[in-house]
A = this chain, B = another copy of it.
Amino acid sequence: MNKVVKNAEEAIQGVKSGMTLMLGGFGLCGIPENSLKALAASGIKNLICISNNAGIDDFGLGVLLRDHQLKKMIASYVGENKEFERQFLSGELEVELNPQGTLAERIRAGGAGIPAFFVPAGYGTEVAEGKEVREFNGKMHLLETALTADFAFVKAKYGDYSGNLIYNNTANNFNNMMASAGKITIAEVEELVPTGELDPNQIHTPGIFVQRIFQGTNYEKRIEFETVS
């Protein structure tokens, strides 16, 4: 099953104003750089983006923010982006903040056909507002709902023509769950190999979750905080 497309421009075909997108990565680690650039170049606006973070001012999701392409962000931590802050405070950008584990699980649930589930995170905080509360085993829990997206953009180290993916180190993060939660999932990889070259026991994301795949180019893989010993 050949799911290979030529490049990011071809991959993002069908993304339209007002759609909900998921974007993998944690900080700048494991983000779909090529797809983000193509989305920025497309000028598509009014996007709802689900991503753990919002990039930095001049890289990652930050570029879409800068160009006012986002209507709403669903994220857990957006600390490294001043433009985000500005748009949020001015009311230009809607923001829904989720506890990180809840965000991860909502995305997994979206991919796994589980419409809602209970977690303890956020009970008694502003995250609980409007949510059903229920006690299990003497502990209070919130009912959280699944998240899905029109398009999910993920990045892996290796991928094959059938869409099987293998991530590298902590660059997996949100990518694996998001791959399962996109109606159309687009994977970009550092190395695209023919089907059959990846060990079936080592595949992190089975190809069934991926609709389009391409070999990315010119990866910058920026480091947010280079810390050395």
Contacts and interface: CB of A to CB of B under 8 A. Distances in A.
Interface stretch (A33-41, A42-50, A112-120, A217-225): A112-120
Interface stretch (A56-64, A83-91, A165-173): A165-173
A131 to B, nearest CB: 14
Contacts of A200: 169
Nearest to A135: B115
A186 interface: no
Contact of A113 (B120, B166, B202): B120
Interface in A103-122: 105, 109, 112-120
Nearest to A172: B201
B115 A201 contact: no
A167 B117 contact: no
20 contacts: A105-B112, A105-B114, A113-B119, A113-B120, A114-B117, A114-B118, A114-B119, A115-B118, A115-B136, A115-B137, A115-B141, A116-B134, A116-B136, A116-B141, A136-B145, A166-B201, A167-B201, A168-B201, A201-B202, A202-B202
Contacts of A136: 115-116, 145
Instruction: Give chain A's interface secondary structure class.
Output: mixed
Interface of A: 105, 109, 112-120, 134, 136-137, 141, 145, 166-169, 200-202
A145 B141 CA distance: 13
